[in-house]
């Protein structure tokens, strides 16, 4: 392809973007770009299905009101441990079937214990649902805590600079130098027995460092822009300039960073629980289930498959959503132009040429 052809294609893509975004506000442009990201849209639907399934599966109590779940067993139930259809005399194997009877299978059904049973007979579907609840709770709490702390510290450091910037960034550097897994292990060892909410809260206190440096860099750039000077001339206070003028322009990088941080949070919780420093018994998480039944991998691998499948699904969904948000907030990201869009752009350019 010649240089002139490449330049003409780039010019057509630029003109297409101008035509698509003409007359739209910034929020409408971001929403339109995000909706067009197929991976992000599929991931949002998939993540909503996972969250809805997990949090409605087991019965719970809210303000003393008992809310039944769609699954009949709970993590406290101890049904009879059955052989099922296991080979080699194993117990507690999954009972669901996806092979229709006309193909020689048992038909499509869930059975009594779709995910099987653990060593003492507890329904493994109930355990996985409870573990996914705890892991998702850790993910969202760490994301919220780290997002708030990282944004505040980065905003103050980047806006005021000077001695405030030096003190905050040296403190941030000190936290960064300590490996995350070591900090998490110490926190889990001392606070893991207090419950998953406390564990997530304390982990969130140390997960903000990367976000704070990104926000600081964004504020250092935005504070020199003309609209900030105009706000100062108009008599706006520093607090108003930070939260009303600069922060809305940095919200893109904050949202993307928090989204990616959440996907890392579920992997951190999994690693800590696998090492024995995360969620402790009698509570369970996806990582603790994998750790508890690691010796059964060669004989009963389904005890590994289902928690691992949920971990991978949640982490990938959040990563794809973060990728879609990055493309939506960053206008410099180039996307593939469809044939339909190219045709619409040609029609629009011809109409503009005739005017």
Break the chain into its structural domains and give their ranges.
131-354
Kindly state the DSSP code that residue 63 receives in the 8-state scheme: T
pLDDT at position 128, please? Answer: 93
Look-up: residue for tokens 């609840």?
133
pLDDT at position 22, please? Answer: 60
Tell which residue, 17, 261, 13, 30, has the closest CA to residue 150.
261
pLDDT at position 9, please? Answer: 46
pLDDT at position 194, please? Answer: 75
Rounded CA-CA distance 137/286 in Å is 12
Residue 58 neighbours by CB distance under 10 Å: 21
Kindly state the DSSP code that residue 117 receives in the 8-state scheme: B
Mapped onto helix, strand or coil, the DSSP state of residue 87 is coil
pLDDT at position 116, please? Answer: 84
Phi, psi of 270 (to 5 degrees): -65, -45
pLDDT at position 6, please? Answer: 46
Phi, psi of 103 (to 5 degrees): -100, 10
Cis amide bond preceding 209, omega within 30? no
Q: Where are the alpha helices (DSSP H) in the chain?
A: 3-21, 26-35, 38-57, 124-160, 162-177, 180-191, 196-204, 209-222, 226-233, 238-240, 247-275, 286-292, 302-329, 339-354
Cα-Cα-Cα-Cα dihedral sign, residues 62, 66, 72, 75 = positive
pLDDT at position 157, please? Answer: 93
The two three-digit tokens of residue 276, written as one number: 């024995």
Mapped onto helix, strand or coil, the DSSP state of residue 225 is coil
The two three-digit tokens of residue 187, written as one number: 């926190």
Profile the chain (355 residues) by mean pLDDT over runs of 10 residues: 48 51 70 87 94 88 75 83 64 75 67 83 90 90 92 92 92 86 80 78 87 92 88 88 86 86 85 80 84 79 88 91 83 52 57 57
How many CA atoms lie within 13 Å of 228's alpha carbon, on the beta-carbon side?
17
pTM above 0.85, yes or no: no
Tell which residue, 116, 84, 78, 110, has the closest CA to residue 97.
110
Rounded CA-CA distance 268/20 in Å is 41
Tell which residue, 207, 55, 43, has the closest CA to residue 131.
55
pLDDT at position 120, please? Answer: 82
Rounded CA-CA distance 123/77 in Å is 8
How many CA atoms lie within 13 Å of 223's alpha carbon, on the beta-carbon side?
19
Matching CATH number, 131-354, of 3.40.50.1970, 3.20.20.30, 1.10.3720.10, 3.40.50.360: 1.10.3720.10
Crossing angle of helices 196-204 and 124-160, in 10° steps, is 30
- CA distances for 240 relative to 26, 236, 265, angstroms: 21, 6, 32
pLDDT at position 83, please? Answer: 58
pLDDT at position 345, please? Answer: 55
The two three-digit tokens of residue 300, written as one number: 């009963």
Mapped onto helix, strand or coil, the DSSP state of residue 36 is coil
């Amino acid at each position: 392809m010649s240089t002139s052809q490449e330049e003409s294609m780039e010019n057509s893509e630029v003109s297409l973007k101008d035509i698509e975004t003409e007359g739209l506000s910034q929020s409408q442009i971001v929403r339109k770009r995000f909706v067009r990201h197929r991976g992000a849209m599929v991931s949002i639907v998939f993540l909503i299905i996972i969250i809805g399934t997990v949090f409605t599966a087991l019965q719970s109590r809210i303000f003393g009101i008992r809310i039944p779940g769609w699954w009949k067993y709970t993590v406290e139930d101890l049904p009879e441990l059955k052989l099922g259809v296991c080979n080699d005399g194993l117990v507690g194997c999954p009972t669901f079937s996806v092979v229709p009877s006309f193909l020689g299978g048992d038909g499509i059904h869930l059975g009594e214990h779709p995910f099987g049973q653990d060593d003492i007979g507890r329904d493994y579907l109930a355990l996985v649902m409870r573990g996914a609840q705890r892991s998702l709770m850790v993910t969202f709490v760490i994301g919220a805590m780290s997002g708030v702390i990282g944004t505040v510290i980065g905003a103050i450091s980047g806006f005021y600079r000077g001695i405030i910037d030096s003190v905050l960034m040296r403190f941030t550097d000190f936290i960064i130098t300590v490996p995350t897994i070591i900090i998490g292990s110490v926190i889990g060892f001392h606070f893991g027995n207090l419950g998953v909410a406390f564990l997530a809260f304390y982990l969130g206190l140390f997960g903000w460092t990367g976000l704070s440096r990104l926000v600081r860099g964004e504020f250092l750039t935005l504070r020199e822009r003309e609209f900030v000077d105009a706000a100062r001339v108009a008599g706006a206070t520093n607090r108003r300039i930070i939260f009303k003028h600069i922060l809305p322009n940095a919200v893109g990088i904050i949202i993307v960073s928090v989204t990616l941080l959440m996907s890392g949070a579920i992997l951190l919780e999994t690693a800590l629980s696998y090492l024995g420093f995360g969620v402790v018994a009698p509570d369970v998480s996806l990582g603790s289930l994998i750790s508890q039944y690691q010796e059964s991998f060669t004989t009963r691998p389904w005890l590994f498959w289902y928690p691992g499948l949920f971990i991978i699904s949640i982490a990938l969904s959040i990563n794809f959503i973060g990728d879609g948000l990055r493309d939506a907030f960053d206008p410099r990201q180039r996307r593939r132009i469809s044939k339909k869009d190219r045709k619409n752009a040609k029609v629009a350019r011809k109409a503009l040429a005739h005017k």
